[in-house]
Amino acid sequence: MSPLNHNPSGQREPAFLSPVEKKDQSNNVFTSLATCINDIYNLHENFYRLTLLIYDSETDVNIPDNIFKNDMIKIAIENKIPVIKTNNLYEIYQIKYINESTVIIVVYLKDCNEMTIAELRSFDIKFKYVIIVDTFLRDKCYDAVTAKLSEVYNYEVTLIIADRIPGKYNFLTAIPEIDEVTCKTTEIVEIKHINSCTNGTLDETRLTRIFPVKAPSNFKLCNFNVGMSIFYPYSMTNNTDSLKDFDDDVNFYGVDIDIMNIMAKKFNSTLKLFYITKYDYDPKLREIVVQYLINETLDAYAGGTYRLYRDEVSYSGTYSRQTIIWVYTVERNRRTWQSLIFKMNGLYIFLIIYQCYVILWNLISKFDHQTLSILDSFVYGWGALFGGAGLQDARSLKQKFLNIVYLIACLHLSAYVNTQIYYYLTIDRPPNFYTSVDELTSSGKIPYLIPNKKYFIDDKKYIAFANTSRQCDTFLNCAELMLINNGSTIIIDAQLAPLQSSSAVNDEARVLQVPEYILVVYHEMILRKNSPLVKKFQDYTQRLFESGICQMLYVRSIGITVVDRAKIANQNILSNSYSCTVGCEITLSQLAGVFYLWMAGCFFSCIVFILEILMKIPLLKH
């Protein structure tokens, strides 16, 4: 029986009204029903670009169906709703090529005898249908409604039936069940009451159920057959050498297996996993997987799959995103005394002060009519600057003030040099890193790529850089050659964390990625198009993706400790490295360069002293 009380006579409640009053009441009912249809449009307009399509049988304008259609069109125009009017339901499929719009098709029928108008061939899975039967359920009508809803349960169809109470209409649909013996959907479905329209108002407590998902939620432990290919980190197994198609005793693990287990539990089904060779890269071989789904050998296919199988199959919706990236080797700059000299790039300020001191000293001496030697000014000024000699004796107040200012500058130079030496001996700066592919290209790092797989995008800059690459056999071999030869290569982002973790030295990463992506890949699972679980599978996938569960499973498949270690190694290499933080000891070996410089200065001074003596010996003899 129907979930609603239906009257066997099929007549509305008696009302002793005049013909004029009956006509006015009928018009009001049509207006209220049209208002409810308008509310359905407004409810779904938040999620889709919608168009109302109204079926018109081209009959007399005064009969009830055309009165309703005229009211519907009038209300739609008042609310600026796009409307299409047609008299041929079989030609509606032509508008499905308007991909950016989803259509709500409204069909008005006076009684159940006209249900044959809505034949199965006139339905399209892209559209939403509202079929109005302006009578309430009686025995024959109930059978006709049940048969029609059973026929179109795969489509988004909502049936509106008149209630015995004037001005009230009931919204009906049918949810199929699974036969636990055949594991197919049952042919006879139970009619469900999902909403009501009373005097132009929808039931607010059921607004989200105008077009409910009509997929069974209980598969009664029937098999859920899933083909699984190997693709890191979505589906993996320990031994792939001996596998052949449809092996079912494989110990799979990875993101897709975790998601399929969640789905199987949600649908109360028995998950059966079968190994399938990955055919993504060959369009002809992809047809093999499509045939497995079409002939119902498989219900779904996963393993890091993409939207590559045309419209012959359905898709789960995006559940994961992967990026293809450039990576390169890095290492901290070696500590050399040459790098210390380049680090002291502020010395020129003190050299300018030194020149100013010499010039001012000479000007003051001339102004005071003092005898002086310009060479002495240069030598004493230079010696004082580096702490090797005292300043010249000041003979006036101006010279004393100049000496004080210059002495302060000398002390600042000493502090600056000491700080730089201390910084140089205790702190290592991060290595050079690249923020764009252009920077990596101009860095001189040689790329290592697989010859027959490196040209996968049509980009001039990428192709030019790929042309400079050296050959490697596998992605693992490319990574090894990159580390040995301080080069670069291409990997997917899932491989970065294990590579950084395994190649880290002293908890510092040796491999970094370029933030620019070469390519972004969105993964979707493949579903059999006529499977009753498609709609709910898509809904559950979206929930898992938006809640972050898919990303959590992705990280867990790579390895939580591996990802954490890679993050730490990445942070360490991009920050300063401190050999100590408190009470740092500067050893003699670290200061060896200073002693070598001091000894060289002493040696040079001795040579100058000897040369000076040798030059003055003839003068003494004379």
Dist CA 4 CA 10 (whole Å)? 13
pLDDT at 530: 83
What is the number of alpha carbons within 13 Å of residue 329 lying toward its C-beta? 21
Does residue 61 surpass a pLDDT of 60? no
Whole-angstrom distance, CA of residue 185 vs CA of residue 219: 9
Which of 178, 120, 116, 179 has the alpha carbon at shortest distance from 154?
120
Question: 506-522 burial, b if ≥16 CB within 10 A, otherwise e?
Answer: eebbbbbbbeeebeeee
Contact of 211 with 128, CB cutoff 8 Å: yes
Comparing CA positions, the residue from 539, 554, 547, 552 lying closest to residue 267 is 539
Which pLDDT band, with edges at 50, 70 and 90, does 114 fall under?
Answer: confident
- Distance (Å, whole) CA 554 – CA 133: 50
Give pLDDT tens digits for 504-542.
998 899 999 999 999 999 999 999 988 888 888 999 999
DSSP 231: B
Per-residue model confidence (pLDDT) at position 549: 95
How large is the average pLDDT for residues 439-456?
92
- pLDDT of 385 over the 60 cut: yes
Query: By mean pLDDT, which of 144-153, 213-222, 311-320 is the weakest?
Result: 144-153
Any idea which of 267-276, 283-292, 372-381, 496-505 has the lowest mean pLDDT? Answer: 372-381
Domain 19-209 matches domain 321-332+431-521+559-584 at the CATH topology level: no
Query: Is pLDDT of 10 > 50?
Result: no
Give, for 66, the enclosing helix (H) or strand (E). helix 64-78
Q: What is residue 387's predicted lDDT score, i.e. its pLDDT?
A: 72
Max mean pLDDT among 2-6, 56-60, 220-224, 602-606 falls in: 220-224
Average pLDDT over residues 12-38: 55
> Closest Cα partner for 12 from 140, 232, 161?
161
Query: Mean per-residue pLDDT for 21-50?
Result: 62
Tokens of 98: 């308007």
pLDDT value for 25: 44
Residue 2, pLDDT score: 46
For residues 574-603, average pLDDT: 64
Beta carbons within 8 Å of 406's beta carbon, 6+ residues apart: 353, 357, 381, 384, 391
How much is the average pLDDT of 231-253?
A: 89
Does position 360 have pLDDT exceeding 50, yes or no? yes
Mean pLDDT, rounded, for 418-432? 77
More confident site: 501 or 106: 501
Q: Which amino acid is at 479?
A: A
Query: What would the 3-class secondary structure string for 298-346 be?
Result: CCEEECCCCCCCHHHCEECCCCEEEEEEEEEECCCCCCCHHHHHHHCCC
CATH of range 321-332+431-521+559-584; options 3.30.590.10, 1.10.10.10, 1.10.1040.10, 3.40.190.10: 3.40.190.10
- Does residue 382 register a pLDDT over 70? yes
Q: What pLDDT was estimated at residue 580?
A: 60
**9 band by pLDDT with thresholds 50, 70 and 90:** very low
Q: Is 513 left (phi over 0), alpha (psi -120 to 50) or beta?
A: beta
Bridge-based pairing of strands 168-175 and 190-198 is: antiparallel
Whether pLDDT at 486 is above 60: yes
Q: pLDDT class for 480, splitting at 50, 70, 90?
A: very high
Q: pLDDT band for position 574 (50/70/90)?
A: confident
Neighbours of 372 (CB within 10 A): 15
Record the tokens describing residue 308, joined without a space: 């590559």
Q: Look at residue 471 in the predicted model and tell me its pLDDT.
A: 93
| pLDDT for the residue numbered 142 | 79
Question: Is 59 or 216 the better-scoring residue by pLDDT?
Answer: 216
pLDDT at res. 612: 77
pLDDT at 18: 42
Under the banding of pLDDT at 50, 70 and 90, the label for residue 614 is confident
pLDDT on residue 188: 62
> Band of the pLDDT at 26, cuts 50, 70, 90?
very low
Q: What is the pLDDT of residue 20?
A: 37
Compute CA 459 distance to the chain's CA centroid, rounded to the nearest angstrom. 22
Radius of gyration of the chain (CA): 42
Instruction: Give the DSSP H/E element, type plus range, for residue 540.
Output: helix 534-546
Helix (H) or strand (E) holding 360: helix 347-367
* pTM for the structure as a whole: 0.69
Per-residue model confidence (pLDDT) at position 440 = 94
| Cα separation, 288 vs 292, whole angstroms | 6
CA distance 263 to 268: 8
Mean pLDDT of the chain: 80
* pLDDT tens for each residue of 262-272: 999 999 999 99
What is the model's pLDDT at position 436?
Answer: 92
- Asked if the model's pLDDT at residue 171 lies above 60, the reply is yes
Give yes or no for residue 377 having a pLDDT over 70: yes
Query: 430 pLDDT exceeds 90?
Result: no
- pLDDT for 15: 41
Query: Mean pLDDT across the stretch 166-188?
Result: 81
Which pLDDT belongs to residue 274? Answer: 95
Mode of pairing for the β-strands spanning 50-55 and 488-492: unpaired
Under the banding of pLDDT at 50, 70 and 90, the label for residue 62 is very low
Paired with 225 in beta bridges are 272
Task: Say how far apart CA 249 and CA 490 lie, in whole Å.
Answer: 34
Q: Does an H or E element contain 20, and which?
A: helix 19-45
Would you say 256 and 234 are in contact if contact means Cβ atoms under 8 Å apart? yes
Residues contacting residue 109 through CB under 8 Å, at least 6 positions apart = 65, 115, 117, 118, 131, 132, 133, 134
Stretch 279-304: mean pLDDT: 88
Question: What value does the mean pLDDT take over residues 67-79?
Answer: 73
Could you tell me if residue 112 is left (phi over 0), alpha (psi between -120 and 50 degrees) or otherwise beta?
Answer: alpha
Superfamily of domain 19-209: Response regulator (3.40.50.2300)
- State the average pLDDT over residues 579-591: 56
Residue 300 tokens, joined:
């779904």
Task: Please give the Cα distance from 176 to 187 (Å, whole number).
Answer: 8
Per-residue pLDDT for 22 more than 60?
no
* pLDDT top residue among 128 and 56: 128
Question: Nearest CA to 299 among 266, 268, 252, 264?
Answer: 264
Q: In the prediction, which pLDDT does 591 show? A: 57
CATH architecture for segment(s) 223-319: 3-Layer(aba) Sandwich (3.40)
Q: pLDDT exceeding 90 applies to what percent of the chain?
A: 31
What confidence score (pLDDT) does residue 14 get? 41
Cis, bond preceding 431 (omega within 30 deg of 0): no
pLDDT at 17 over 50: no
Q: Encode pLDDT of 124-154 as tens digits.
A: 777 788 888 877 777 678 788 877 777 777 7
The angle, 0 to 180 degrees and rounded to 10, between the axes of the packed helices 496-503 and 560-573 is 70
Domains in the chain: boundaries: 19-209, 223-319, 321-332+431-521+559-584, 337-428, 587-622
